Amino acid sequence: MTSRLIKKTADSAGAGKPEHLEAEGDFIIRDFPFASGESLPELRLHYTTLGSPVRNTKGAVQNAVLILHGTGGNGRVFLNEPFAGVLFRSGQLLDAGRHYLILPDGIGHGLSSKPSDGMRTRFPRYTYADMVQAQYRLVTEGLGVNHLRLIMGTSMGGMHTWMWGEMFPRFMDALMPLASLPVAIAGRNWMTRRMVMDAIRQDPDWRGGDYHEQPQRGLRSAIYTLLFMVSVPLQWQLLAPTRVAADEMFDRLVAEYAAKLDANDMLYQFDASRDYDPSPDLDKIEAPLMAVNSADDQVNPPELGILEKAIRKVKRGRHIVIPVSEKTCGHRSHSAAELWQAHLEELLKYPRG
């Protein structure tokens, strides 16, 4: 297997001060093997970086931070104000002038290789393990980073963070999974994912993935389920206090999703979680870990008690559940950094190594 790095752009448009270097590029892995036994002649992983790596006298990178996005997202979602504006600017916890921030697009997402590029359902049926292996190769082979100060991720990226801690336990100083649980996806969580996938597959216009136009009935039904998954009872009541306002908000959200989603990509993204289950190997995690969820998260509701039980297996693990307030935003509280930046600060104070 061979790989190569293609740096597409480099400028100073990073989040924070103008002098913060931002780069964007593609990492190409040849003959990438998937857990399914399939392979791709070329797997493309797109990425964005802010800042520059700093090495110690032994050549180990000291300031690299890997940040992993959620289902359907991409690395650049972290450049928005609620995240980058709170963390990446001068003097902030992940100041892009002092850190080397790595924001990849996962397999099947963003500008990385995905079904909608042309292969459709002939694209390899990837899993989270494939995604993490590709991220590792991007970091090590593509960017030349041999150690990470921190790995953090939101939702799916949070699940990948648990997996990184198990698969490469000495590669990072700290781990912060957000809006995730370290157990197999089951119960209502899996059922809602089935609703998304079945809605797409059962639409005759899907045509086994070989549609010429998006299968609108299936896609809209999938979007309805997605809205339920990320719903925020308190916030949505405040934003839509009347039936008319609720109708307007619902129609707007559906239209926004429909304009940017591809049915095959969405199907693969949800299916990729099918064999996720880090629970048997949680004791392999060596780095300090701070898991953060919110009490109004409809995907990972705290009443399940899963996180409290699982965290006991993590040697240096802690967990936080943020109470419901007018500032929390359900599952998407993972990207409202003001809610949990104090916990990140605490995590970064843990001794390295």
For 89-137, write each residue's pLDDT tens digit.
Answer: 999 999 999 999 999 999 999 999 999 999 999 999 999 999 999 999 9
Percent of the chain's residues with pLDDT above 70: 94
Neighbouring CB atoms inside 10 A of 58's CB total 6
> Could you tell me which of 48, 51, 40, 45 has the C-alpha nearest to residue 16?
51
Helix (H) or strand (E) holding 155: none
- What CATH number has the domain spanning 3-184+275-348? 3.40.50.1820
Maximum Cα–Cα distance across the chain = 63
Is the confidence at residue 346, as pLDDT, over 80?
yes
pLDDT in tens, 194-252: 999 999 999 999 999 999 999 999 999 999 999 988 899 989 999 999 999 999 999 99
Neighbouring CB atoms inside 10 A of 66's CB total 27
Q: CA dist 124 to 33, 254, 264, Å?
A: 9, 29, 12
Residue 277 sits at φ, ψ, to 5 deg, of -170, 85
pLDDT of residue 14: 42
Q: Which residue has the higher pLDDT, 230 or 19?
A: 230
The fold of the 187-271 domain, in CATH, is: Rna Polymerase Sigma Factor; Chain: A (1.10.1740)
Residues 6+ apart with CB under 8 A from 232: 296, 298, 328, 329, 330, 331, 332
Contact call for residues 181 and 307 (beta carbons, < 8 A): yes
Dihedral angle sign, alpha carbons of residues 76, 273, 298, 219: positive
pLDDT in tens, 149-187: 999 999 999 999 999 999 999 999 999 999 999 999 999
Contact call for residues 81 and 88 (beta carbons, < 8 A): no
Query: What's the whole-model pTM score?
Result: 0.94
Q: Is-same-fold flag (3-184+275-348; 187-271)? A: no
The residue extents of the domains of the chain are 3-184+275-348, 187-271
